């Protein structure tokens, strides 16, 4: 495990498996990572993680424990425990090995109607229970086309991020997620700089997400305010995922 939050020179590359994955997929990651890093081998220069479906968290501990992969989950409850049917407490995820949790992914903002206030509450509960929240924000195409991108994103920074403590931001323009349309390095850098400017901690880690792959990662990760990536499609195959790691500047 290698989770260096503060050294922005070493990127965090987090795969978001969404509602994909299986024991066989974890096994294929284990095999490819063992071939590359050896059993129990460590990884230098970056943190590589997978945001797994909840059900794969526990078996992942047996299967990929000897790889340098860090694991997390894709959402969590804003509550600690109790009568909340179907929810996952960050405490339970932490006890099973999760180090981080995504909150406020745009798919959940749309499909589960998650609002900023609830996302902030989830992030703060996660912090209290020892998980690093990765707060996802980003504008839609309509918002960008009407010149509102920065206003929308900075409002999300203000309303969804924890009031204090350690957290990571993932800027994911909604129009770039799963579409193959990646933000240009300039568009991404401009937004990341604005997010950093608005954040209380000038050294906060800010990841870019939205169609990142091994052909575009190098240029994106070379931008001064891009400190890693949140990677969907290209994280489902261990070779594609490692190709992003290999292409980092």
Which residues would be at the binding site for ligand PGA (CB under 6 A)?
16, 172, 177-178, 209-212, 230-234
| Residue placing its CB nearer to ligand PGA in the complex, 92 or 101 | 101
Comparing every residue's Cβ against ligand PGA, the nearest one is 232
Nearer to ligand PGA, 51 or 149 (CB): 51
Residue 217 C-beta: closest distance to ligand PGA, Å: 11
Taking Cα atoms as reference points, which of 108, 130, 111, 132 lies closest to residue 119?
A: 108
By beta-carbon proximity to ligand PGA, the closer residue of 12 and 92 is: 12
Question: In terms of CB distance, is 189 or 214 closer to ligand PGA?
Answer: 214
Residue number, 75 or 91, with CB nearest to ligand PGA:
75
Assigned token pair, 15? 């795969």
Shortest reach from residue 38's CB to ligand PGA, in Å: 28
Shortest CB 102 distance to ligand PGA, Å: 8
DSSP string, the chain: ----SS-TTS-EEEEE-TT---HHHHHHHHHHHHHHH-TT----S-EEEEEE-HHHHHHHHHHSTTSS-EEEES---SSSSSS-TT---HHHHHHTT--EEEES-HHHHHHS---HHHHHHHHHHHHHTTPEEEEEE---HHHHHTT-HHHHHHHHHHHHS-SSS--EEEE--GGGTTTS-PPPHHHHHHHHHHHHHHSS-TT-EEEEESS--TTTHHHHHTSTT--EEEESGGGSSHHHHHHHHHH--
Catalytic residues, by residue number, are 105, 172
């Amino acid at each position: 495990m290698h989770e260096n939050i503060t050294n922005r020179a070493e990127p965090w590359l987090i795969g978001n498996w969404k509602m994909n994955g299986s024991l066989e997929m974890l096994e294929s990651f284990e095999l490819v990572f063992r071939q590359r890093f050896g059993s129990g081998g460590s990884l230098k220069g970056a943190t590589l993680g997978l945001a797994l479906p909840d059900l794969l968290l526990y078996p992942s501990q047996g299967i990929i424990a000897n790889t340098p992969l860090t694991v997390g989950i894709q959402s969590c409850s804003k509550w600690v425990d109790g009568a909340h049917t179907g929810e996952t407490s960050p405490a339970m995820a932490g006890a099973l090995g999760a180090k981080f949790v995504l909150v406020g992914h745009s798919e959940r903002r749309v499909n589960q109607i998650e609002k900023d206030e609830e996302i902030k509450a989830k992030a703060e509960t996660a912090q209290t229970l020892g998980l690093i929240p990765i707060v996802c924000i980003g504008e839609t195409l309509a918002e960008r086309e009407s010149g509102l991108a920065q206003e929308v994103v900075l409002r999300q920074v203000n309303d969804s991020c924890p009031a204090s403590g350690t957290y990571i931001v993932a800027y994911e323009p909604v129009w770039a997620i799963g579409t193959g349309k990646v933000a240009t390095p300039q568009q991404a850098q401009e937004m990341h700089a604005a997010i950093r400017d608005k954040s209380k901690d000038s050294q906060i880690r800010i990841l870019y997400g939205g169609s990142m792959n091994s052909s575009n990662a190098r240029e994106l990760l070379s931008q001064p305010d891009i400190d890693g990536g949140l990677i969907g499609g290209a994280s489902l195959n261990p070779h594609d995922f490692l190709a992003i790691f290999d292409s980092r500047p």
